[in-house]
Amino acid sequence: ESKNEGRNKLKVFDPATLHARQLQRQIVGELREAIRSGQLVLFYQPIVELSTGRIEGCEALVRWNHPVHGLIMPDQFIPVAEATGLIAELGRWVLRTAVGQLRRWRDNPATKQHDFSMRINVSAADLQSLEFVDDVGEALAEESLAPESLVLELTESAIIHNNELDRYTLASLHRLGVGLEIDDFGAGYSSMGYLRKLPVDRVKVDRQFVKDLGKDPSQLGFVAAIQEVIRSCGLEGVWEGIETAEQAEALRSIGCASGQGYYFGRPLPEMEFTEQLARQVVWPA
Ligand code: C2E
Ligand code: MG
Ligand code: MG
Ligand code: MG
């Protein structure tokens, strides 16, 4: 995160910054074509039930397999897509691809399990589009998947605009039956009041809170307090950025439900993730 801050500060003669800005301009022109010509790929990262070590789901994370620049990470092109309106098309591609993938895993004898769910990241702009709810419903229906098998991750900033359309879209998605999860909880400056008001089921806590677990002894109490806030709102917590066994163990010891992070597995392309899913248990319970 601190690396990103450094990158965003404008340094006039910094060749790296100059390169980044040239790359950005180029990206706008190429992204539309990239979506259509199949240069985007989804990687999948496991989400683990902490009490059992079982993979309960995965998060789909988009990458751009660029013919010249190689694998470009989402931080480099999602903001550009959002600023140019291309995000709607990108979002539809992610939705279709992730749901199609879930269908293939359900059909594969090595990986089929009923309660394995797919998470996708949804942009603020998607909630502003009236077609979005229909797109989600259609994508699930076409693959004969129950709505609960898809969870939409929404950042705080995407849902606390608190305008009429956002509230309407959220309520419609909730009625459709898809899971709704707040992503990067605690990363912004928003109040916690909305946790009790919005129709969400889960809260994914920002990885900054997991980072100091195992280093700073007082951090576990702090994390337990956050966990208690989430639980008292009737929601389930998902803890991201788990990189060590100590962090996983600490979270489990205070009753946290689910976890995600490099310790359990990095985001992987379809083939590699399928193998991990077939092995199933990633963490000794
Ligand atoms: P996010 O949704 O919060 O996703 C989690 C990010 O943390 C991912 O970065 C993931 O690779 C990374 N991560 C996972 N475990 C660990 C860990 O243990 N330690 C550390 N340091 N990092 C970990 P990634 O894939 O670069 O994605 C960055 C962000 O880009 C995502 O944050 C999400 O906001 C956005 N994004 C990714 N895919 C999509 C997409 O399909 N659509 C939209 N709208 N946004 C996306
Ligand atoms: Mg996410
Ligand atoms: Mg997150
Ligand atoms: Mg994020």
Distance 15 CA to ligand 3 centre (A): 30
List, for residues 101-110, the tens digit of each pLDDT value. Answer: 999 999 999 9
Tell me how far apart the alpha carbons of residues 182 and 41 are, in angstroms, rounded to a whole number. 24
Residue 166 or residue 117, greater confidence: 117
Task: Name residues whose C-beta falls within 8 Å of residue 246's C-beta, 6 or more positions apart in sequence.
Answer: 213, 214
Is there a contact between 206 and 187 (Cβ–Cβ < 8 Å)? yes
pLDDT value at position 121?
97
Tell me the three state secondary structure of residue 110: coil
Closest CA to 258 of 46, 44, 45, 50: 50
pLDDT value at position 156?
80
pLDDT value at position 247?
95
**Ligand 1, atom 35, residue with closest C-alpha:** 74
3-state secondary structure 75-103: HHHHHHHHHHCCHHHHHHHHHHHHHHHHH
Closest CA to 88 of 153, 118, 147, 132: 132
Q: For all residues of the chain together, what is the average pLDDT?
A: 88
pLDDT at residue 96 above 80?
A: yes
Distance 12 CA to ligand 2 centre (A): 33
Residue 47 or residue 14, greater confidence: 47
Closest CA to 47 of 238, 224, 221: 238
In the chain, how long is the greatest CA-to-CA distance? Answer: 56
List, for residues 118-130, the tens digit of each pLDDT value. Answer: 999 999 888 888 8
Distance 206 CA to ligand 1 centre (A): 11
- The CA-based dihedral angle spanning residues 127, 128, 134, 140, taken in that order and rounded to the nearest 10 degrees: -30
**Ligand 1, atom 3, residue with closest C-alpha:** 184
Tell me the three state secondary structure of residue 203: strand
Percent of the chain predicted with pLDDT > 70? 91
pLDDT at residue 35 above 80?
A: yes
Tell me how far apart the alpha carbons of residues 175 and 182 are, in angstroms, rounded to a whole number. 17
For ligand 4, an ion, list residues with CB under 5 A.
184
Mean pLDDT of 5-24: 58
pLDDT value at position 164?
77
Tell me how far apart the alpha carbons of residues 149 and 170 are, in angstroms, rounded to a whole number. 17
Residues with CB under 6 A from ligand 1: 45, 61-62, 73-75, 78, 94, 121, 123, 153, 183-184, 207, 241-243, 260-262, 267
The ipTM (two decimal places) reads: 0.98
Mean pLDDT of 71-77: 93
Residue 53 burial class via C-beta count within 10 angstroms: exposed 0-12, middle 13-18, buried 19 and up:
middle
Residue 126 Cα: closest atom of ligand 1: 44
Tell me how far apart the alpha carbons of residues 58 and 48 are, in angstroms, rounded to a whole number. 8
Tell me how far apart the alpha carbons of residues 179 and 202 are, in angstroms, rounded to a whole number. 8
**Ligand 1, atom 34, residue with closest C-alpha:** 121
**Ligand 1, atom 11, residue with closest C-alpha:** 267
Pairing of strands 179-185, 236-240: unpaired
pLDDT at residue 5 above 90?
A: no
pLDDT at residue 10 above 70?
A: no
pLDDT at residue 29 above 60?
A: yes
Pocket test for ligand 1, best of 90, 121, 212 (most atoms within 8 A of CB): 121
Ligand nearest to the CA of 267: 1
pTM (two decimals): 0.91
Residue 262 Cα: closest atom of ligand 1: 18
Pocket test for ligand 1, best of 61, 90, 153 (most atoms within 8 A of CB): 61
**Ligand 1, atom 33, residue with closest C-alpha:** 121
pLDDT at residue 4 above 80?
A: no
List, for residues 242-279, the tens digit of each pLDDT value. Answer: 999 999 999 999 999 999 999 999 999 999 999 999 98
Distance 91 CA to ligand 4 centre (A): 16
